[in-house]
Structure 1
Amino acid sequence: MTPPVFAHGTLRLYLLALLEEEPRHGYELIQALSDRFGGTYSPSAGTIYPRLAKLEEEGLVTKTADGRKTVYAITDAGRTELDGRRHELDAIEDQVTDSVRRLADGVRAEVGEAMRSLRAELASAAREAKRTATKTRVDPAPAQPDAGRALHEAELALSEFRQAMRTELRSHEARTRLGADTVAILRAGLARTADEVRASLRA
């Protein structure tokens, strides 16, 4: 289970800090949190709005209508609470940074393992294709029912990798926004795999 990014009771304080900077819509608060942590953490509306409602109930924020949107702003009481707990904000930043790092490490490990598996499957398929081609040149036969097996297996490996990674990435995105570093890892891994397969085919 993915550990919570914010410890109990600390998200409300962080929301007050964001509203002290400027009034914001609920979505803007979600976006600000995502931007603050490099896109690796993006809270759901079901996480943010109940806490905003609780802060309003306690008189720490107010909300006003702005067309079809609702704008939240910190109150004097909210600033008073924030001033009394300002020393906690640095600790919260450290806690969140650690949690986000664990999330990113988990995604990086999943992508790395999938890349290693793909490279092994493609390398095996490439060797099989080369053996089949060599055998065909030495001892041609009228029909080779397995001649395209290696190609089929290579294409199957690609399809399975794509589906597995798509599932992993979408599952992660449902929990927290996918970071640019993960995309970079994926691109670099695919480039390395392509180079290794090409080298195997030329060998």
Structure 2
Amino acid sequence: MTPPVFSHGSLRLYLLSLLAEQPRHGYELIQALSDRFGGTYSPSAGTIYPRLAKLEEEGLVTKISDGRKTVYEITDAGRAELASRLDELGNIENEVTDSVRRLADEVRSGVNAAMKSLRADLASAAREAKSESKSSDSESNLHTESNRALHEADMVLNEFRQQLRADLRTAAYRSRVPADTVSELRRQLDAVRSSILASINPR
């Protein structure tokens, strides 16, 4: 299971640090967190607003209505707590960076392994087709067609990998990458590989 991005209590403290810089409404806090971590992490509204409500109950922040928006501002008590825990803030960013890097590495590893295996299978099929063919013009044509198919398949795999990485980054930006993403990716890629092998190596 992928560990949470923030350890217990860390997000609460980090929200205080953002509000110490300037008053912000909920969306601005979400955007500020996303900006701090290069878009690799962005909490949901369901993660942020309950913590803001708790901070308000504790007297660490206040809120005022600005049109249809609610703006949160740190209180003197909030600044005092933040000042007493400044040494923890540096570690929080390291925790977040490690968490999102770990997820990205797991996904990248799963995709790369599946793509490498499928390329090897396609190349092997092309070699087998060549060796089993007779020495004739039809053999030459078959070999050419196999090489062309292999090249096109490689291009499709590269395009798929790039698109999936972009999709995953977008999902991570919105905090919508489930913990079982890597295992599900491997399962589906294994199914695709089996299907492709069945089509190029019929019994």
Bin of the TM-score, shorter chain as denominator length:
0.5 to 0.7
Query: Cα gap change, 1:157/1:63 in structure 2, threshold over 3 Å: closer, same or farther?
Result: same
**Alignment correspondent of 2:173:** 177
Supply the distance in 2 between the matched residues of 1:50 and 1:136 (Cα, whole angstroms): 72
Amino acid at match of 1:58: E
**Alignment correspondent of 2:38:** 38
Question: How many angstroms does 1:125 deviate by?
Answer: 5.9
Question: How many angstroms does 1:169 deviate by?
Answer: 6.4
Kept in 2, the 8 Å contact 1:40–1:177? The answer is yes
Supply the distance in 2 between the matched residues of 1:11 and 1:68 (Cα, whole angstroms): 25
1:83 lines up with 2:83 in the alignment: yes
**Alignment correspondent of 2:56:** 56
Supply the distance in 1 between the matched residues of 2:159 and 2:152 (Cα, whole angstroms): 11
Kept in 1, the 8 Å contact 2:119–2:154? The answer is no
Kept in 2, the 8 Å contact 1:41–1:100? The answer is yes
Kept in 1, the 8 Å contact 2:62–2:72? The answer is yes
Instruction: Please show how residues 1-203 of structure 1 align to structure 2 within 5 Å.
Output: 1-124=1-124, 127=127, 131=130, 138=136, 170=167, 173-174=170-171, 176-177=172-173
Question: How many angstroms does 1:154 deviate by?
Answer: 8.3
Question: How many angstroms does 1:75 deviate by?
Answer: 1.2
Kept in 2, the 8 Å contact 1:37–1:100? The answer is no
**Alignment correspondent of 1:191:** none
Q: Runs ≥4 in structure 1, deviation > 6 angstroms?
A: 148-169
Kept in 2, the 8 Å contact 1:125–1:154? The answer is no
Q: What's the TM-score, normalizing by structure 2?
A: 0.64
Supply the distance in 1 between the matched residues of 2:127 and 2:64 (Cα, whole angstroms): 66
Query: Cα gap change, 1:88/1:138 in structure 2, threshold over 3 Å: closer, same or farther?
Result: same
Deviations 1:154-191 (A, max 9, x none): 878987887798678656754x228xxxxxxxxxxxxx
**Alignment correspondent of 2:181:** none
**Alignment correspondent of 1:189:** none
User: Gaps (5+ residues) in structure 1?
Assistant: 179-203
Kept in 1, the 8 Å contact 2:115–2:157? The answer is no
Amino acid at match of 2:54: K
Q: After alignment, is 67-76 or 109-118 more displaced?
A: 109-118
Supply the distance in 1 between the matched residues of 2:62 and 2:16 (Cα, whole angstroms): 11
Percentage identity across paired residues of the two chains: 64
Question: How many angstroms does 1:92 deviate by?
Answer: 1.9
Q: What's the TM-score, normalizing by structure 1?
A: 0.64
Kept in 1, the 8 Å contact 2:126–2:150? The answer is no
Supply the distance in 2 between the matched residues of 1:77 and 1:65 (Cα, whole angstroms): 21
Supply the distance in 1 between the matched residues of 2:13 and 2:39 (Cα, whole angstroms): 20
Deviations 1:15-71 (A, max 9, x none): 000111111121111111112112221111111111011111111111222222222
